[in-house]
Amino acid sequence: MAETTPFYITTAISYPNGKPHIGHAYEAIAADVIARFQRLQGRRVRFQTGTDEHGLKMARKAEEQGRTPSDLADEMSGYFRAMCDALDVSYDRFIRTSEPDHHRASQAIWQAMEASGDLYLDRYEGWYSVRDEAYYDESELTEGEGGEKLSPQGTPVEWTVEESWFFRLSNYQDQLLELLKTPGFLEPASRRNEMIAFVEQGLRDLSVSRTSFDWGVKVPGSEGHVMYVWVDALTNYLTGLGYPEDMGDFWPASLHLIGKDIVRFHTIYWPAFLMSAKLPVPQKVFGHGFLLNRGQKESKSLGNVTDPVALAETFGVDALRYFLIREVAFGQDGSYSPEAIVQRANGELGNAFGNLAQRTLGFIAKNLEGYLPAIRGHDAADTALFDTVDRAITTDIPHAFESLALQQAVEAWLQAVFACNAYIDAQAPWTLRKTDPERMETVLATLYICIAQLAVAISPVIPASSTKLLDLLGVPEDLRNFEGIRSHWYSPLAESDYQLAAPTPLFPRLELPAEDA
Ligand code: ME8
């Protein structure tokens, strides 16, 4: 039975204070791969991404540019949405925190926390990093080269004194510790100890409103206060489901996919807000690593900032998606370069998988007029290949995707592709054509079936190319999932008069652009 349980996945919502960078693309693609995998498993998926538009960082950037924050957000949010669309990111909702339903949801969670007695008015005196939109304790700061104080993320901090609402974070210490120790709540497990240590050293109440600027969600019934940007930002995950109205069965979220720099907000502050509002906490938070440009952080001063949409235009959307998932051990930092993208795309997508499909389908088109070959009995080599591919698509690949070992999922797929290539070379259908045409048909049919299964299994990563291939193969749409592709779709197709068109190359060979060569 296919699973029909709901699966709600979210990315972080990005600050639209500039255009998206490769890190944003990486997160959106990884989330999309997971969402598409879960749909293939037959689950009901809801996938949300968007932009985080309030706060001091947005207000200051707009001021620098002599425009309103709302004008800046309108322009830049459009680039984020366009990036998702360009990269085939299959979100159900692209949320903007400036939207009216989000203001309503944020005020509702505020009132729920207030009703629990967790909010009180006081004065904040301490350090704030505008770049991180985060408060830091003196003890967390480090010293920069010029003796200036820096946040643990290396960003500047400023001394801030203002009247503020506080949230009784300290009330949730024990519950949070228990949650952080729950296996599977925070992954990878390596990020857990840091969060546990942070809670164990004692939680101070959190300043949750600002009075020195007004670009944010208004605190209900408290003139002059806007919510601290993270309170409303985190609430986006509820807004998208209709909070404070009935959220259906998508809450609690199955997975918040975020970067490693914002794990504290998602595994300490957010669960505490939810506990206070008497809502269930998310099932899992995964903190992925950072993507570096040839090992270096991208920055305007180094002049190495890459536009992910331009990268996709140069190399192809699927080549970029494949590269990012294949190259980086999910959870760890990774590095990219044009050479590495070209090498993976040409070697693995082009030579290994593309050629396999091209050779098999081209051979059928040319020698059988495109009519699908019949299976005329199996020998040991055929059975061994079916076993290998079957294990990959029923066990290795889905288990790896399910446990968010995205890189291993692609490796398992590639191993099965290699097995097909070894099979075609050993069976040599081009020789069988003259010596044993019946055996040739079985060999081609075997490959045909395996290629279709492998096209389905890799479709979360390279959706457009997989669709193109599955269309060509004539695989019915309703069978393009892990369950369906194992069924007996081939015989009816082979017995029909389905005629294969001559294949066009799926993965055109990439060259390094002149400036990178
Ligand atoms: O943090 N590699 O927004 P953001 C990989 N608005 N991921 C990266 C990255 C890199 N080089 N740089 C950033 C925010 N990210 C908040 C989130 S959620 C309620 C609010 C990731 O635009 C980063 O870790 O700074 C985060 O998950 C996402 O990109 C958006 O970052």
CATH of the domain at 370: 1.10.730.10
Lowest-pLDDT choice from 58-67, 175-184, 441-450, 480-489: 480-489
CA dist 403 → 24, 193, 344, 395 (Å): 22, 20, 24, 12
Would you state the structure tokens that stand for residue 126, as one six-digit string? 């301490």
Residue at which a domain ends, from 226, 260, 288: 288
Nearest to 486 by CA among 442, 459, 450: 450
Residue 480 lies in domain: 338-495
286 within ligand 1 shell (Cβ under 6 A)? no
Nearest to 40 by CA among 345, 330, 397: 397
Lowest-pLDDT choice from 201-210, 253-262, 481-490: 481-490
What's the confidence (pLDDT) of residue 487? 83
Alpha-carbon span 364 to 501, nearest angstrom: 9
Residue 311 falls inside a structural domain: no
Asked if residue 3 has pLDDT above 60, the reply is no
Residue 296 falls inside a structural domain: no
Distance 445 CA to ligand 1 centre (A): 46
Alpha-carbon span 326 to 336, nearest angstrom: 11
If asked whether residues 194 and 90 sit together in one domain, one would say: yes
Residue at which a domain ends, from 270, 288, 306: 288
Residue 190 falls inside a structural domain: yes
CA dist 502 → 363, 365, 444, 494 (Å): 9, 5, 15, 17
Asked if residue 31 has pLDDT above 70, the reply is yes
3-state secondary structure at position 488:
coil
Give the residue, out of 109, 290, 406, with the most ligand 1 atoms within 8 A of its beta carbon, to mutate for a pocket test: 290
Q: Which atom of ligand 1 is nearest to the CA of 11?
A: 27
Q: How confident is the model at residue 303 (pLDDT cuts 50, 70, 90)?
A: confident
If asked whether residues 354 and 277 sit together in one domain, one would say: no
Alpha-carbon span 98 to 62, nearest angstrom: 15
What's the confidence (pLDDT) of residue 512? 87
Residue 240 falls inside a structural domain: yes
Distance 24 CA to ligand 1 centre (A): 6
234 within ligand 1 shell (Cβ under 6 A)? yes
23 within ligand 1 shell (Cβ under 6 A)? yes
If asked whether residues 171 and 241 sit together in one domain, one would say: yes
Asked if residue 294 has pLDDT above 60, the reply is yes
331 within ligand 1 shell (Cβ under 6 A)? no
If asked whether residues 270 and 367 sit together in one domain, one would say: no
Asked if residue 259 has pLDDT above 60, the reply is yes
Query: 305 φ, ψ to 5°?
Result: -80, 130
Q: How confident is the model at residue 319 (pLDDT cuts 50, 70, 90)?
A: very high
Residue at which a domain ends, from 257, 288, 319: 288
Mean pLDDT for 315-342 is: 97
Q: For atom 21 of ligand 1, which residue has the closest CA? A: 259
Alpha-carbon span 230 to 329, nearest angstrom: 29
31 within ligand 1 shell (Cβ under 6 A)? no
H or E element in which residue 433 lies: helix 429-435
Give the residue, out of 10, 17, 21, 24, with the most ligand 1 atoms within 8 A of its beta carbon, to mutate for a pocket test: 24
Q: With contact defined as beta carbons under 8 Å apart, do 30 and 257 qualify?
A: yes
Q: How confident is the model at residue 313 (pLDDT cuts 50, 70, 90)?
A: very high
Asked if residue 349 has pLDDT above 90, the reply is yes
Residue 68 falls inside a structural domain: yes
pTM of the model: 0.97
Q: How confident is the model at residue 196 (pLDDT cuts 50, 70, 90)?
A: very high
pLDDT in tens, 55-101: 999 999 999 999 999 999 999 999 999 999 999 999 999 999 999 99
Residue 333 falls inside a structural domain: no
Q: How confident is the model at residue 297 (pLDDT cuts 50, 70, 90)?
A: confident
- DSSP string for 273-298: HHHHTT-PPPS-EEEE--EEETTB--
If asked whether residues 232 and 376 sit together in one domain, one would say: no
Nearest to 128 by CA among 19, 220, 213: 213
If asked whether residues 131 and 190 sit together in one domain, one would say: yes
If asked whether residues 273 and 343 sit together in one domain, one would say: no
What's the confidence (pLDDT) of residue 200? 96
- CATH number, domain of 162, equals 3.40.50.620
DSSP alpha helix (H) spans, 65-132: 69-86, 100-115
Q: How confident is the model at residue 302 (pLDDT cuts 50, 70, 90)?
A: confident
Nearest to 205 by CA among 234, 172, 235: 172
Alpha-carbon span 91 to 46, nearest angstrom: 8
SS3 content of the chain, % helix, strand, coil (to 5): 50, 15, 35
Asked if residue 1 has pLDDT above 50, the reply is no
If asked whether residues 142 and 227 sit together in one domain, one would say: yes
Give the residue, out of 22, 79, 262, with the most ligand 1 atoms within 8 A of its beta carbon, to mutate for a pocket test: 262
Average pLDDT, the chain: 96
Distance 76 CA to ligand 1 centre (A): 15
If asked whether residues 48 and 170 sit together in one domain, one would say: yes
Distance 492 CA to ligand 1 centre (A): 48
Mean pLDDT for 465-471 is: 97
Q: How confident is the model at residue 20 (pLDDT cuts 50, 70, 90)?
A: very high
Mean pLDDT for 130-152 is: 94
Would you state the structure tokens that stand for residue 55, as one six-digit string? 């706060």
Asked if residue 516 has pLDDT above 80, the reply is no
Asked if residue 112 has pLDDT above 90, the reply is yes
24 within ligand 1 shell (Cβ under 6 A)? yes
Alpha-carbon span 288 to 337, nearest angstrom: 19
Residue 317 falls inside a structural domain: no
If asked whether residues 278 and 342 sit together in one domain, one would say: no
Residue 367 falls inside a structural domain: yes
What's the confidence (pLDDT) of residue 137? 93
If asked whether residues 154 and 82 sit together in one domain, one would say: yes
507 within ligand 1 shell (Cβ under 6 A)? no
Total domain count, the chain: 2
Asked if residue 2 has pLDDT above 60, the reply is no
